[in-house]
Amino acid sequence: MRDKIFIKWAWFLPVLFIKSQTNIHDAQNYFLIVKINDKHFNNKALIQHELVHTKQFLRTFGLHFLLYKFNDSYRYKAELEAYKASKKYGQCLVSCATYLYQNYNIDKSFQTVITDLVS
């Protein structure tokens, strides 16, 4: 895909995805704007994952950012919900569990993460 941007919808709001080559992460969510690494531009699982985060912003009236940053339990639940969407859209369970287990400073066993992802 040669386009540099595309729009997906989080309920009634447009979310602008911008292709980036400089991302440290696969994607970075800024509520209605998501920077996505160009190698993931067609990654449906990642796109749906990011749309979940945008909905979490909306559901919390913007408090998501602070809760996510400063509350480990909230961050785990937020990522768990987002990785369930990733799994639903094609990312395998072990990959979702590995990312969730390794990258979010959570205090859970790998087995607990697997169990939570399938519940």
By C-beta, is 3 or 59 nearer to Zn ion?
A: 59
Cβ 79 to Zn ion shortest distance, Å: 5
Q: Distance between CA atoms of 17 and 73, rounded to whole angstroms?
A: 28
In whole angstroms, how close is the CB of 30 to Zn ion at the nearest point?
13
Handedness of CA 104, 107, 111, 114 (dihedral sign): negative
Which residue's CB atom is positioned nearest to Zn ion?
A: 82
Question: Helices 110-118 and 72-88 sit at what angle, rounded to 10 degrees?
Answer: 60
Dihedral sign for Cα atoms in the order 13, 59, 114, 97: positive
For Zn ion, the binding residue among 82, 96, 100, 113 (CB under 5 A) is 82
Q: Give whole-number Cα distances, 68 to 21, 52, 64, 111, in Å.
A: 25, 13, 6, 23
User: Shortest gap between Cβ of 53 and Zn ion (angstroms)?
Assistant: 6
What CA–CA distance (Å, rounded) separates 72 from 67?
8
- CB nearer to Zn ion: give 82 or 96: 82
Contact pattern from residue 51 through residue 80 relative to Zn ion, giving x for each residue in contact according to CB under 5 A and a dash for the rest: ----------------------------x-
Is residue 27 a contact point for Zn ion (CB under 5 A)? no
Question: Which residues form the interface with Zn ion (CB under 5 A)?
Answer: 79, 82
